[in-house]
Homo-oligomer: A and B are copies of this chain.
Amino acid sequence: MVVTVIGLGLIGGSTAIDIRRHKFADHIIGVDNDPINASGAQHIGIVDEICEFEDGVRRADLILVAVPVNAALKVLPAVLDIINDNQVVADMCSVKSKLGDWVKYHPKRQRYVASHPMAGTEYSGPWAAKANMFEGKVAILCDTEESDVAAVSLVRRMYEAMNMRIIYMNSANHDVHTAYVSAISHISSFALALTVLDKEKNEKHIFDLASGGFDSTVRLAKSSAAMWQPIFEQNKDNVLIVLDTYIKYLQEFKKNLEADDNKAVYDMIDQANKIRRVLK
């Protein structure tokens, strides 16, 4: 099986590592419009060779689109324009509805499988790629009724080879769910970083005090703007609803604290503690 990975960052690079290790792919071609990423990925052995876009697409059995969601709006139709009826293309993007709508009436739509492997770190680029990042995590396949059965089956087998758990969902539900568990976590972390950096201008030693709690909460604030701005843009409607709810709770907390309503503050924390029942 020849697999071409378009976009040799954290997701594309880590996927390349795992599909080789698990013997799903025999030969991996890399495509990246950033020559530094491309040569880096080849140099560290993530891909067997680097190709131009069209050549890379034509030579593959399976093409993986692992670029930021805004770039995918250009890359995915361009792939569909080229491939034949024996080839399959899957994207690995974090927002699904807009991309799905975008190619809905493309004559090759059935060769495309919409997917989102839910794993990552706050780092980016091929140097951030690592083995086993996807192990045991969830891969979501969206709107599979719009893809050929054989195409879905191939992509499912790839994620199974990577030891991922498959969940099927339509794009609209996917985008609501990820707004809650992924987008808002990142926004809260970005705002936290901005708050603390604001203060740090005057207080050089504040980070001496940063203990484990702060580190883990603010970790996501290192996540790349090039990846996340387009995610928020494409999932804007859902993200705004969640962000409203989030700000509403913060304002309620503030109001209770200002009013010295200790019981209300206690009760909000106690209610938040119920997250224990759903997290490890």
Would you give the shortest CB distance from A241 to chain B, in whole angstroms? 9
User: Is there a chain B Cβ closer than 8 Å to A72's Cβ?
Assistant: no
Taking a contact as CB atoms closer than 8 A, the residue among B185, B210, B222, B265 that contacts A217 in the complex is B185
Q: Which of A131-185 contact B (CB under 8 A)?
A: 137-138, 140, 167, 176-178, 180-182, 184-185
* A280 adjacent to B209 (CB under 8 Å): no
Q: A228 to B267, alpha carbons, bound, how many Å?
A: 11
Q: A255 to B131, alpha carbons, bound, how many Å?
A: 39
Interface locus among A7-15, A47-55, A115-123: A115-123
Q: A167-B209, A191-B253 are in contact. List 11 more A-B contacts (CB 8 A).
A: A118-B211, A167-B208, A176-B203, A184-B196, A191-B249, A194-B271, A216-B219, A222-B279, A225-B266, A233-B257, A240-B254
Interface residues of A (CB under 8 A from B): 118-122, 137-138, 140, 167, 176-178, 180-182, 184-200, 203, 205-226, 228-229, 232-233, 236, 239-240, 242-247, 249-251, 253-254, 257-258, 260, 262, 265-276, 278-280
